[in-house]
Structure 1
Amino acid sequence: MAKQTMSRSPDDPVNARLGEVLEAFMNRVAHPRGRALAFLTQSSVTVDQAILMHHALTRPGSTPTSLAATMNLSLPSISQMLERLARLGMLRRIEDPADRRRKTIAVTPKARRFLRELQAVRSQEFSAGAAALSPAAQQRLVAALERALTELDADPSGGEPR
């Protein structure tokens, strides 16, 4: 018999507590050093722009409209970010040969390099923030997070409440 995963509503007390604990943990291990934010500032890229590039990278063929829907932002906001990232050489707009009005967004090698470097900076930041945990607590945390990521990867809803 297959194991069935029950999705919890955001209003569920256990899910709400999980959200509170994750938020507190992330604040403790990430933000105090500010290395990731400094990296973004030095690169002249905002957090929203980095998220936009990540979505464009992981969803090839994205359009401005699909990115706006994914990020829950207005199309004018996305268009402004795309323009700025194109000027920085991070993204390209590609015209659809069948419909010249339709544009898809492509991530450039410069953006791929930027996202790899940002990931490395963030990973180092998280590792440094969690270094005060005992080795046993670190092992348990890694195991729990790996299990959670496996479940999220298997979730066809993409993590959205059912």
Structure 2
Amino acid sequence: MNAWPLLTRIWKLQRDLVQKAAPCIDELGISPRELMLLAFVERQPNPSGLARELRIPTPSVSHALKRLENQGMLERQSDPADLRRFNFALTAAGRKTLARGQDCLKNSFRGSLRRLEPDEQREFERLLRKLTEDES
């Protein structure tokens, strides 16, 4: 199998979904990238760890986290393992914004999924899960 056409289609699907959802996400006062940060901050609350996990430059992550903090969506907390560092946690406003942003993306994706029959949708989900599972 030639991987390049498949990779470009995956990239195009992701790009198209975000572009379709962007106006809805913009209404929340955040960018799609900031929505992704909100979604990952609970799993990886440390700024440098978040940058590594999402493969985004640390200064870009720090700038976006500060903006989200200033908007009241995140709060800074001391890292109990190392008091010289800090972590971020979602506030109630951040959780609400995250839920609404995820709805924006789900609605965008739902439109694309309508092209598939229900059994194809289930198979697509199964295959994506299989391809994105961590190899252990």
In 2, Cα distance between the equivalents of 1:74 and 1:21? 25
Q: Aligned in 2, Cα 1:101/1:45: closer, same or farther, shift over 3 Å?
A: same
Matched, 1:147 2:135: no
Which consecutive segments of 4 or more residues in structure 1 shift more than 6 A?
Answer: none
Among 9, 16, 23, which residue is 1:21 paired with? 9
The answer for the alignment partner of 2:31 in structure 1 is 46
Distance in 2 (CA, whole Å) between partners of 1:96 and 1:31 is 33
Q: TM-score, normalising length from structure 1?
A: 0.69
Which structure's CA Rg is the greater one? 1
**Aligned match for 2:67, one of 76, 81, 84:** 84
Cα RMSD after superposing both structures? 2.6
1:27 deviation in Å?
5.7
Q: Name the structure where helix makes up a greater proportion of residues.
A: 2
> Relative contact order (alpha carbons < 8 A, sep ≥ 6): 1 or 2 greater?
1
- Unpaired runs of 5+ residues, structure 2, are none
Share of identical aligned residues, percent?
26
CA distance in 1, matches of 2:28, 2:124: 30
Q: Are residue 65 (structure 1) and residue 53 (structure 2) matched?
A: no
In 1, the alpha carbon distance for the partners of 2:27 and 2:112 equals 22
- Letter paired with 1:63: N
In structure 1, the residue matched to 2:22 is: 37
For structure 1, the residue ranges without an aligned partner over 5 or more in a row are 1-11, 158-162
Structure with a larger share of its residues in strand: 2
Deviations 1:111-162 (A, max 9, x none): 222122122222222223443x3xxx422431222212441464336xxxxx
Residue 74, structure 1, aligned to residue 57, structure 2: yes
